[in-house]
Structures are given as C-alpha cells and as structure tokens.
Amino acid sequence: MKLEKRIQILVQLGHYLSTDSPLYKSAREQAFSENKWFLPEYIWEAGKSISKQMLQAHILEEFANKYAVRDEPKVKKQIGIIFAGNIPFVGLHDLICSFLSGHQTSVKLSSKDTVLPKRIIEYLRSIDPEIDNYISIKEMLKGCDAYMATGSNNSARYFDYYFGKYPHIIRKNKTSIAFLEGNESDDDLEKLADDIHLYFGLGCRNVTQILVPRNYDFLPLLNALKKYQHYCDHDKYKNNFDYQLTIAIMNNQFYMTNDSIVLIENANPFSPISQLHYQFYTEKDAILKELDMDQIQCIVGKGFVPFGQAQNPGINDFADGIDTMEFLSNLSGT
C-alpha cells in the first residue's frame, strides 16, 4: 500500500471520529456499557481532538515528510503494541505511527477498552480490506520484531521482562502538573478545570498537582472547578470523592473542597481520583528544579502547555517524550 493511500485512510478515520454517525454513536454507547469511566461525550471529545490535531491530510503529510516515510519501509517489521485503557483512544497514536510507517502491527487490547479499538479497525477494514495485512488484534503478542507498551510501573516491569531483549518502547506511570502565578484570569482557571477534570483525571496528561505561590487565593480556582460538580452524579467518581474526603477528616488533615473535589497539600504529583494536590513555592526556578521529570508528562501554565490544551496533544507530542516515529524509522532502516 502506497504512503498516499495510508494517509487517505487515516484522514477518513479522522472524519469518522469527528462525525456523529449512527455507527460511531453505537460504538460510544457500547464502550460506556463496558467501562463506566468512558462517558460517550468524552469519547466524542477525544475523537474530535485526535481528528483535528492528528488526522488532517496536511498534518499527516508534513509528519511523514519529516521522517522520510516511504511507500514501503526498506525492512518491514512486525510491531506489537499493548494498549492502555485509562482514557478513550489512548493507544491510537502508536497505531497511527506504525501504520503510517508501513509496518505490520499486532495490537493487544486492554480489558478496560475493547470496543473502541475493534470498531476503529473494523472501520479501517471497511475502507480497504488490505488493512488486514497491516493491522490485527491478538490475544497474545509473540514473535514480533519490536514492542511498544504503555501501563503502570508494575506492568512496565512485566513488559521489560518479556520484551526487554527486543527493540522496545515501554512507558510507565506519568502525570501532569500546573504552574500558577496567582494572576490567572477566570478564563485561565476554567480551562485549567478541563485539564484537571476531563476524563475524570485518569489520563497521564491530566493535571493532578498545582504549584502555587505563598498566600495563593484558592477560592477562584475552587469556583472554577465547580464546572464539574455534576461528577457527583457519577457513582464511581462520587464513591472516590466520599472516600478521599472521609480519609482527610479522619486524619484531621487540612483540606479544601467545593463538594466535588478535595484539595490537599502534598508534594507527590500523583493524586487519587477526586483529589488535587497542591504545593507552595517561593521561587519559580527553585521549585521547577525540584521536579522529578521522570514522573511528569507535561506542565500546564503560562510559558508551558497553554491552559485547556493538556488533553489536546498534537501528532508531534510523543508520550514520555520518546519519539515513536524515530524508533520505527530506525527499525526499517530509513
């Protein structure tokens, strides 16, 4: 299959993800039935973002040109990809890169997200049956030439044990933080609420900790976070909120809440669902130097990722900063 055809197929996938067709609507509803964290409206938002940021013809053409992608790689490889299942379409970028590169791809699905990847591959097959020569779903990944896997720190050790002797990309737990100066506008804070709350905070690009100056006024932020007060109508989220609030009360720990999220002072950038950590700073450079960047996917704030854009990565925003296309290019000898 020529590169031009592969790009055309990916553009059609982008159209599918941004068009509210009965087929796609059914897929969203079925995915929600399988995983109650996958709200249909969140699947819709994730798909639209991927379509806009990654699956436009000019974006894919520039991306392919950047890596000198050929009609066929010099050496075609079998790539095994293990999908995570924390948020909708979380493994799609790896699949896009592998297919665009012209390699054959075997996908191992997460038990938390089987519907959406299957529907996407079925849709690609409906465009061109030759997709079967490029993409397949496997129960077990064996005999691949290289592997890409995303999961927890525990699963990363498992992946490394089994795949470490092959060329690989193995991603561990990551999270994101926000750097606030204290002079953010109401619009900035409303967008930050999206960075914190979209997908219930389950993504590695969700903000789970904020760095704030001493004497920071939390009230405007707490008010902005009320945008997601409806989360307390979601059983899974409400159970987490009640648990975190109860723990704070029982431990006689200082906390702030707007009745839908709990703010706790904690130096750990990782926070549980329904909780947001904060840490004070006096000097910007000093606090940034203290960050363990092995844990941080991105930083949101002025001079960093713009407020409201954490969940809208572009095609060149590689997870963990590992260039997937360079990895694939090296495999094929381009």
Mean pLDDT taken over the chain: 95
Tokens at 193, concatenated: 């609420």
Q: Which pLDDT score, from 0 to 100, does residue 272 have?
A: 97
Q: Which residues pair with 265 in a beta bridge?
A: 278
> Apex CA 117: angle with CA 116 and CA 118, to 5°?
90
Q: Which pLDDT score, from 0 to 100, does residue 334 have?
A: 53
Share of the chain above pLDDT 90, in %: 90
Domain ranges of the chain: 3-173+317-332, 175-294
Q: How far apart are CA 191 and CA 299, in angstroms?
A: 14
Q: How far apart are CA 328 and CA 334, in angstroms?
A: 9
Confidence band, pLDDT 50/70/90 cuts, at residue 332: low
- pLDDT at 204 exceeding the cut of 90: yes
Q: How far apart are CA 313 and CA 140, in angstroms?
A: 29
> How is residue 182 annotated by DSSP?
S
Tens digits of residue pLDDT in 59-86: 999 999 999 999 988 889 999 999 999 9
pTM equals: 0.93
* Residue 106: alpha-carbon gap to chain centroid: 20
Out of 3.40.50.720, 3.40.50.450, 3.40.605.10, 3.40.1740.10, select the CATH number for domain 3-173+317-332.
3.40.605.10
Tokens at 324, concatenated: 């997937």
Instruction: Read off the pLDDT of each residue in 291-319 and give the average, rounded to a whole number.
Output: 96
Best CA proximity match to 277, nearest among 262, 291, 259: 262
User: 34 near 149, Cβ under 8 Å?
Assistant: no
- pLDDT at 145 exceeding the cut of 60: yes
- pLDDT at 118 exceeding the cut of 80: yes
Instruction: Read off the pLDDT of each residue in 240-269 and give the average, rounded to a whole number.
Output: 97
Tokens 């997601």 -> residue? 228
Q: Which pLDDT score, from 0 to 100, does residue 150 have?
A: 87
Tens digits of residue pLDDT in 159-179: 888 888 999 999 989 999 999
92-101 and 57-66 helices, crossing angle to 10°? 60
The continuous run of DSSP H or E covering 78 comes out as strand 78-82
SS3 308: coil
Tens digits of residue pLDDT in 88-99: 999 999 999 999
Q: How far apart are CA 278 and CA 281, in angstroms?
A: 10
Confidence band, pLDDT 50/70/90 cuts, at residue 333: low
Instruction: Establish whether domains 3-173+317-332 and 175-294 are of one fold.
Output: no
The architecture CATH gives domain 175-294: 3-Layer(aba) Sandwich (3.40)
User: 69 near 3, Cβ under 8 Å?
Assistant: yes
The continuous run of DSSP H or E covering 93 comes out as helix 92-101
Please give the backbone phi and psi of residue 312, each rounded to the nearest 5 degrees, phi first: -125, 60
